[in-house]
Structure 1
Amino acid sequence: MSAGLTDSELIHRIIGGETAYYAELVKRYQNFVFTIAMRYTESREDAEEIAQDSFVKAYKNLSDFRGESRFSTWLYTIATTTSLSFLRKKKQKVHSLDVEQVFEAADQQQSHFQAYSVENKSKIQMVNQAIALLSADDANLISLFYKGEQSLEEIGTILGIDPNTVKVKLHRARTRLREKMQTHFKEEVANLKN
């Protein structure tokens, strides 16, 4: 059963000619890629097109995946680049990384989000609103580390910078996020501590 195989094992089999296993990789990462695409466009249809294009590109270039980082890191890079290329072609405005629609779409797509209570959703929404107030670079770092669950090394690979630089920038981004939350959501933050 392909569900028990690791990403590396699936990739090895796909490259070896067992292309049907690619469907399992798509199944594992379809919500992840769709959510990335929704960060760049408000249109669900455009996000679906971006996600599909991302998986086609990943399939065509799968033999280039060297396994030096997680497959999700490599796929994140493809999805981000595909999103930006798509928007340039359509000459659309690139939206903030964490617009509310991203999380509404993720909520609809991923059943584990639906298990959150109303209170948790409001906390998440508050944090997302605070992230949206950050610069694009800070928001991207916070999203990659906390939402994308990427390591400092993986973020460095994605952004083309040294992992130690990522660590410093992430620390500064967290500080600015904390400041935004205390400035714009002072009462809510106080309620969280109680």
Structure 2
Amino acid sequence: MNKIDFSEVYRIYYKRLFHISYSITRDLHLAEDVVQETFIKAMKKVETIEDETKVGAWLSVIATRTAIDFVRSERKKKAILMEQEMLEFLGKEMKQNVENEVETGILVEEVNCAIGKLTHEYRDVLMLKLGNGLKENEIARILDLKPSTVKTRIYRARKQLKLLFLKQISA
């Protein structure tokens, strides 16, 4: 009875155990760890199997209990001090991606250059909309225009910008 081929058992039951583990842990990596731990426990206790036809059920029970244990231990790990939590948060917030910043800077420069090529009517409304984040009604009050006129100018300005960028890309 103790002559179980664990490589075959692993191949047969891996997906089943993974699904059980994932349904409990809700974490892919943790579920994989649970499955590995399940097979380690099973190999250590292989002599306790009385009926080889029930290996799947036996492994499922081990996986379920192991997953619950993992979830409990993860909850304990996440109970960290406020200062440590704040430091980690700040560390994540301060990480910079220089490549993205450079690309964004270049794009902003290209957009500003293209906006500079627009007529003053379109440039004014677009700068107030994009640069200052104002709404159409606010722009209308500032420029002493009707809100519908502002919406039309924003639409036309965006359309012209799109054409400028398409020409630039095709050049």
Q: Give TM class, smaller chain.
A: 0.3 to 0.5
Greater per-residue helix proportion: 2
**TM-score normalised by L of structure 2:** 0.41
